[in-house]
Structure formats: C-alpha cells, structure tokens
Amino acid sequence: MIILNSVDEFRHRYHSARKWQRCLEAIANLPKLKPGVCHSIGDTLVYRLVDGQAAAAPSFTGNRRYVEIHCYLSGGETIAYAPKSSLTRLAPYSDETDRETFSGGCAHSHTASAGQLLIFDNDYAYQPQGSSHLRKLVLMVTVEGATFHNK
C-alpha cells in the first residue's frame, strides 16, 4: 500500500501515464458526483463517491485487474492491510467482480484522514474498520495488460 498526503503529491508522482491523468480528471469531477453512482473515464478507470457511515468489513478484500485508490475528502477511517501471501483465501477469485476475500491477521494499519490517498496494489488486501462519517472517492484503475472477458 502507498500512502500519499495530498492530490498534489499524487499529481507530482503520477503525472505521466494517461490512466493516472484520468484519476485527476475524476477528482476534478467531484462537484458533479452523487454518492453510490459509478462513473468511468475511458476503459481504464471506474470511480464512485462514498458518503456517509461506513460499516467495518468482515474480511480483507483484494483485486487482480485493478489498483484501488481511496481519496479521502472528509472524515476518516482506519484500514488494516496485509500482503495477500500472508492471508488465507476465504473464497475463490471472482472474474466478474475482480474481488477476492481473505482472512488473517493484520500486518499493518493506517488511519486515513481528509486529503490523503491510499493506493492498494494487487499484492495487498485491505479491510476497512468502519467509520461514523466518511466521504471518499474510490477509484479503480486497470492494471497494465489486464484483459476483460466481457469485451
């Protein structure tokens, strides 16, 4: 997992590739977003706004075809994360949802706050611990070379 402290830090670090530029387009689109509605830009980015109370997740979640980015706008939450290799798979990988679930001990945790971005690559799984108020943008960016069987 990568922790960035601002959108400017993200912009500075990931300015060259088109898929990262699309993330910045999505962030700029925030005033037009309604919570829970999925949007996309091109074929490399899907994103949605989360706003309100967030329940603790019962298990760790990981992806294979997407890198998941959480951009915190207000409120915050603690996220447990661990390498997938250190966890026990609970259910087989679903190609339809690009999700796999795991159980196991937390290797690390981080309490995210407004302004921060957390980037979960494909080697890690994460488990939100819940929040009484949370406003964040969740961006799903395709991994280079990922294929989509439904296209």
Q: Which amino acid is at 8?
A: D
Specify which of 41-45, 65-69, 92-96 reaches the highest per-range mean pLDDT: 65-69
Q: What is the DSSP letter of 11?
A: H
Q: Which amino acid is at 37?
A: V
Instruction: State mean pLDDT over 96-113.
Output: 91
The model's pLDDT over 70-80, given as tens digits with 9 standing for 90+, comes to 999 999 999 99
The model's pLDDT over 78-101, given as tens digits with 9 standing for 90+, comes to 999 999 999 999 988 999 999 999
The model's pLDDT over 9-42, given as tens digits with 9 standing for 90+, comes to 999 998 778 888 999 999 999 999 999 899 999 8
Q: How confident is the model at residue 59 (pLDDT cuts 50, 70, 90)?
A: very high
* Alpha-carbon distances, residue 19 vs 92, 97, 111, 143 (angstroms): 28, 20, 27, 10
Q: How confident is the model at residue 43 (pLDDT cuts 50, 70, 90)?
A: confident
Distance, in Å, from the CA atom of 84 to the CA atom of 126, rounded to the nearest integer, reads 9
Please, what is the average pLDDT of the chain?
Answer: 90
Q: Residues 55, 132: contact at Cβ < 8 Å?
A: no
Instruction: Compute the half-sphere exposure of residue 97: CA atoms within 13 Å on the CB side of its CA.
Output: 9
Domains in the chain (CATH in brackets) are 2-142 (2.60.120.370)
